C-alpha cells in the first residue's frame, strides 16, 4: 500500500483558522477583521466566519469597545496543558538515565530558589563508589556547579546584587570573592557548563549545564556528580563536560527551546 503525503489530507478551512490564530503571536494583542483579511489575503466574510467559530469555542474573544478580536481563555488552557504534559521532571527522567549511563556518574536535575539550589530528581550511577544523593537538598549557588549554571546567564546587574559581599566558605576550594565568582561565571557562559571542584564538599566534583524552556529562560540545571578521583579536569574537558552539555540541550529542546 502506497502512503499518501500528509499534505493531501489538509482541510483548507482548518488551516485558515489556524492561520488566524497564529496572527495573534505578534506584538499586536488585538486585531480587526479588515487587518486580518489583508494579512492573510482572505475575503473579509471568510475571516469573520472563522472568528465567529473560534469565538463560539472561546479560542477568540471580542473587545466590545472597539470590535477587535484577541485570544480567548481556551488558548491559555491549552498552553497550560502543554506545559503540564511536557513538564520538567517528566521530560528530564529519560535524559537523567541517559546521562547517568553515558557518564557513569550520578545525574541530577535542579532548580534555583533564592540563593539556594534545590535538587529535584536524580538517577544514581551503577558504580560501587557513589556520592550521597542530593535530592531534596538545598545548597549554595556559589559553591555548586548547578548553582553557577543556573545564574551564569543572568544580567550583570542581577549577578552583582546576588554576589555583592564575601561568600561563605565550605572547603579550601570554595570561591568566596564576589569578583572571582563573576569572572568564573563569564567562563561558564563561554563553555556553557560549570564545574565544582571540591568547592562544597571535599572529594566531590560536579559538572552542570543550564536547561532552558520555550521562553529561552534558564529554568533548571542538569548535572553529574562523582568522586574527584573519577571526575578529573582532563576527563571533564575531554568527555564529561560535553556530554552534560549535550544532554542539557536535548532536554531544553524537549521543553520547547529553539536556538
Residues 6+ apart with CB under 8 A from 195: 145, 205, 206, 207, 233, 236, 241
Residue 27 confidence (pLDDT): 64
Domain ranges of the chain: 6-82, 86-254
Q: What percent of the chain has pLDDT over 70?
A: 90
Look at 229 and 82; give whichever has higher pLDDT: 229
The per-residue pLDDT for range 53-63, each reduced to its tens digit, is 999 999 999 99
Give yes or no for residue 1 having a pLDDT over 50.
no
Give yes or no for residue 3 having a pLDDT over 60.
no
- To the nearest 10°, report the CA torsion of 196, 197, 202, 204: 70
CATH 3.30.450.40 assigned to 86-254: yes
The overall average pLDDT reported for the chain is 87
What are the cell numbers at 78?
491549552
Give yes or no for residue 152 having a pLDDT over 90.
yes
Task: Please state the pTM of the whole predicted model.
Answer: 0.66
Please, which pLDDT band fits residue 38 given cuts at 50, 70 and 90?
very high
Give yes or no for residue 195 having a pLDDT over 90.
yes
Residue 218 confidence (pLDDT): 93
**What is the architecture, at CATH level 2, of domain 6-82?**
Orthogonal Bundle (1.10)
Residue 173 confidence (pLDDT): 94
Please, which pLDDT band fits residue 125 given cuts at 50, 70 and 90?
confident
The per-residue pLDDT for range 208-241, each reduced to its tens digit, is 999 998 888 999 999 999 898 888 888 988 899 9
Amino acid at each position: 500500500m502506497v502512503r499518501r503525503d500528509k499534505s493531501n489530507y489538509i482541510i483548507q478551512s482548518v488551516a485558515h483558522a489556524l492561520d488566524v490564530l497564529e496572527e495573534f503571536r505578534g506584538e499586536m494583542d488585538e486585531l480587526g477583521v479588515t487587518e486580518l483579511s489583508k494579512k492573510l489575503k482572505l475575503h473579509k466574510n471568510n475571516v469573520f466566519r472563522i472568528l465567529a467559530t473560534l469565538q463560539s469555542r472561546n479560542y477568540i474573544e471580542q473587545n466590545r469597545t472597539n470590535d477587535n478580536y484577541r485570544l480567548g481563555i481556551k488558548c491559555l488552557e491549552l498552553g497550560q496543558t502543554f506545559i503540564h504534559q511536557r513538564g520538567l521532571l517528566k521530560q528530564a527522567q529519560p535524559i537523567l538515565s541517559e546521562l547517568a549511563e553515558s557518564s557513569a556518574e550520578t545525574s541530577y536535575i535542579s532548580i534555583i530558589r533564592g540563593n539556594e539550589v534545590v535538587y529535584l530528581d536524580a538517577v544514581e550511577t551503577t558504580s560501587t563508589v557513589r556520592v550521597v544523593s542530593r535530592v531534596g537538598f538545598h545548597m549554595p549557588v556559589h559553591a555548586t556547579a548547578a548553582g553557577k549554571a543556573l545564574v551564569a546567564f543572568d544580567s550583570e546587574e542581577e549577578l552583582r546584587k546576588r554576589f555583592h559581599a564575601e561568600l561563605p566558605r565550605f572547603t579550601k576550594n570554595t570561591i568566596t570573592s564576589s569578583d572571582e565568582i563573576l569572572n568564573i561565571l563569564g567562563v561558564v557562559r563561554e563553555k556553557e557548563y560549570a564545574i565544582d571542584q571540591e568547592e562544597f564538599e571535599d572529594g566531590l566534583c560536579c559538572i552542570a549545564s543550564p536547561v532552558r524552556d520555550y521562553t529561552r529562560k534558564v529554568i533548571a540545571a542538569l548535572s553529574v556528580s562523582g568522586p574527584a578521583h573519577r571526575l578529573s579536569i582532563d576527563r571533564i574537558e575531554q568527555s564529561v563536560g560535553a556530554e552534560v552539555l549535550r544532554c542539557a540541550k536535548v532536554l531544553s529542546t524537549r521543553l520547547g527551546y529553539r536556538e
